[in-house]
Structure 1
Protein backbone atom coordinates (compact mmCIF):
# COMPACT_ATOMS: atom_id res chain seq x y z
CA UNK A 1 0.00 0.00 0.00
CA UNK A 2 1.19 3.53 -0.76
CA UNK A 3 2.01 5.67 2.26
CA UNK A 4 0.04 8.74 3.28
CA UNK A 5 2.74 11.19 2.18
CA UNK A 6 2.94 9.71 -1.30
CA UNK A 7 -0.85 9.74 -1.66
CA UNK A 8 -0.89 13.41 -0.67
CA UNK A 9 1.86 14.22 -3.17
CA UNK A 10 -0.04 12.41 -5.94
CA UNK A 11 -3.23 14.31 -5.09
CA UNK A 12 -1.32 17.60 -4.97
CA UNK A 13 0.33 16.89 -8.32
CA UNK A 14 -3.00 16.07 -9.97
CA UNK A 15 -4.43 19.34 -8.70
CA UNK A 16 -1.37 21.27 -9.96
CA UNK A 17 -1.67 19.67 -13.38
CA UNK A 18 -5.41 20.35 -13.55
CA UNK A 19 -4.71 24.02 -12.87
CA UNK A 20 -1.91 24.13 -15.47
CA UNK A 21 -4.07 22.47 -18.13
CA UNK A 22 -7.27 24.34 -17.18
CA UNK A 23 -9.16 21.20 -16.19
CA UNK A 24 -11.56 20.63 -13.35
CA UNK A 25 -11.82 17.13 -11.86
CA UNK A 26 -14.71 16.08 -14.10
CA UNK A 27 -12.98 17.42 -17.21
CA UNK A 28 -9.78 15.52 -16.47
CA UNK A 29 -11.72 12.36 -15.65
CA UNK A 30 -13.54 12.63 -19.00
CA UNK A 31 -10.29 13.28 -20.93
CA UNK A 32 -8.56 10.39 -19.15
CA UNK A 33 -11.44 7.94 -19.46
CA UNK A 34 -11.66 7.29 -15.73
CA UNK A 35 -14.74 7.65 -13.55
CA UNK A 36 -14.93 11.04 -11.81
CA UNK A 37 -15.46 9.20 -8.53
CA UNK A 38 -12.06 7.51 -8.93
CA UNK A 39 -10.33 10.84 -9.41
CA UNK A 40 -12.23 12.44 -6.52
CA UNK A 41 -11.23 9.53 -4.26
CA UNK A 42 -7.56 9.99 -5.16
CA UNK A 43 -7.67 13.73 -4.53
CA UNK A 44 -9.77 13.62 -1.36
CA UNK A 45 -7.91 10.70 0.25
CA UNK A 46 -10.58 8.07 -0.28
CA UNK A 47 -8.27 5.89 -2.36
CA UNK A 48 -5.95 3.59 -0.45
CA UNK A 49 -3.75 3.03 -3.49
CA UNK A 50 -4.00 5.16 -6.61
CA UNK A 51 -2.71 2.63 -9.11
CA UNK A 52 -0.05 3.40 -11.67
CA UNK A 53 -2.41 2.41 -14.51
CA UNK A 54 -4.91 5.02 -13.33
CA UNK A 55 -2.14 7.61 -13.05
CA UNK A 56 -1.05 6.67 -16.59
CA UNK A 57 -4.60 7.26 -17.84
CA UNK A 58 -4.59 10.67 -16.15
CA UNK A 59 -1.26 11.45 -17.80
CA UNK A 60 -2.68 10.44 -21.18
CA UNK A 61 -5.65 12.75 -20.59
CA UNK A 62 -3.25 15.58 -19.75
CA UNK A 63 -0.97 14.79 -22.69
CA UNK A 64 2.06 14.17 -20.48
CA UNK A 65 4.26 11.18 -19.66
CA UNK A 66 4.57 9.36 -16.37
CA UNK A 67 8.07 10.81 -16.19
CA UNK A 68 6.59 14.32 -16.41
CA UNK A 69 4.06 13.47 -13.70
CA UNK A 70 6.68 12.29 -11.23
CA UNK A 71 9.50 14.65 -12.27
CA UNK A 72 9.01 17.13 -9.43
CA UNK A 73 11.12 18.11 -6.45
CA UNK A 74 8.46 16.71 -4.12
CA UNK A 75 8.80 13.23 -5.60
CA UNK A 76 12.56 13.48 -6.06
CA UNK A 77 13.05 14.42 -2.41
CA UNK A 78 10.51 12.06 -0.88
CA UNK A 79 11.72 9.72 1.81
CA UNK A 80 11.24 5.96 1.57
CA UNK A 81 8.07 4.89 3.30
CA UNK A 82 7.73 1.91 5.58
CA UNK A 83 4.56 -0.12 5.86
Structure 2
Protein backbone atom coordinates (compact mmCIF):
# COMPACT_ATOMS: atom_id res chain seq x y z
CA UNK A 1 0.00 0.00 0.00
CA UNK A 2 1.33 3.36 -0.99
CA UNK A 3 1.10 6.38 1.25
CA UNK A 4 1.85 8.78 -1.58
CA UNK A 5 -0.83 11.42 -2.08
CA UNK A 6 -2.77 11.08 -5.32
CA UNK A 7 -2.78 14.63 -6.63
CA UNK A 8 -5.48 15.06 -9.26
CA UNK A 9 -3.01 16.73 -11.64
CA UNK A 10 -0.64 13.75 -11.34
CA UNK A 11 -3.53 11.33 -11.85
CA UNK A 12 -4.47 13.13 -15.08
CA UNK A 13 -1.17 14.17 -16.65
CA UNK A 14 -1.55 16.58 -19.52
CA UNK A 15 -5.05 17.61 -18.42
CA UNK A 16 -4.12 20.56 -16.17
CA UNK A 17 -5.50 23.19 -18.55
CA UNK A 18 -8.74 21.28 -19.05
CA UNK A 19 -9.14 20.74 -15.30
CA UNK A 20 -8.58 24.43 -14.63
CA UNK A 21 -11.02 25.49 -17.37
CA UNK A 22 -13.70 23.13 -16.06
CA UNK A 23 -13.18 24.31 -12.49
CA UNK A 24 -13.78 27.89 -13.61
CA UNK A 25 -16.76 27.14 -15.87
CA UNK A 26 -18.54 24.36 -13.97
CA UNK A 27 -19.35 24.73 -10.26
CA UNK A 28 -20.19 21.02 -9.94
CA UNK A 29 -16.82 20.03 -11.40
CA UNK A 30 -15.07 22.49 -9.09
CA UNK A 31 -16.83 20.86 -6.13
CA UNK A 32 -15.77 17.39 -7.35
CA UNK A 33 -12.15 18.55 -7.42
CA UNK A 34 -12.47 20.06 -3.94
CA UNK A 35 -14.04 16.87 -2.56
CA UNK A 36 -11.29 14.82 -4.20
CA UNK A 37 -8.58 16.95 -2.59
CA UNK A 38 -10.29 16.69 0.83
CA UNK A 39 -10.74 12.91 0.76
CA UNK A 40 -7.28 12.44 -0.73
CA UNK A 41 -5.77 14.44 2.15
CA UNK A 42 -7.77 12.37 4.66
CA UNK A 43 -6.63 9.08 3.08
CA UNK A 44 -3.01 10.22 3.08
CA UNK A 45 -3.21 11.31 6.73
CA UNK A 46 -4.75 7.93 7.65
CA UNK A 47 -2.14 5.96 5.68
CA UNK A 48 0.73 7.82 7.32
CA UNK A 49 -0.84 7.52 10.79
CA UNK A 50 -0.99 11.28 11.22
CA UNK A 51 -4.72 10.79 11.88
CA UNK A 52 -5.19 7.03 12.24
CA UNK A 53 -8.63 5.57 11.55
CA UNK A 54 -10.07 2.07 11.68
CA UNK A 55 -9.20 -0.07 8.67
CA UNK A 56 -12.80 -0.19 7.43
CA UNK A 57 -13.05 3.61 7.53
CA UNK A 58 -9.83 3.89 5.56
CA UNK A 59 -11.13 1.44 2.96
CA UNK A 60 -14.35 3.44 2.63
CA UNK A 61 -12.37 6.65 2.18
CA UNK A 62 -10.33 5.02 -0.58
CA UNK A 63 -13.55 3.87 -2.29
CA UNK A 64 -14.94 7.39 -2.14
CA UNK A 65 -11.69 8.78 -3.58
CA UNK A 66 -11.84 6.26 -6.42
CA UNK A 67 -15.48 7.12 -7.16
CA UNK A 68 -14.64 10.83 -7.29
CA UNK A 69 -11.68 10.14 -9.55
CA UNK A 70 -13.92 8.12 -11.88
CA UNK A 71 -16.45 10.97 -12.03
CA UNK A 72 -13.69 13.48 -12.73
CA UNK A 73 -12.37 11.23 -15.52
CA UNK A 74 -15.85 10.97 -17.05
CA UNK A 75 -16.25 14.74 -17.01
CA UNK A 76 -12.81 15.26 -18.55
CA UNK A 77 -13.50 12.86 -21.41
CA UNK A 78 -16.94 14.36 -22.05
CA UNK A 79 -15.41 17.74 -22.90
TM-score, normalisation: structure 2: 0.37
Bigger-Rg structure (1/2): 2
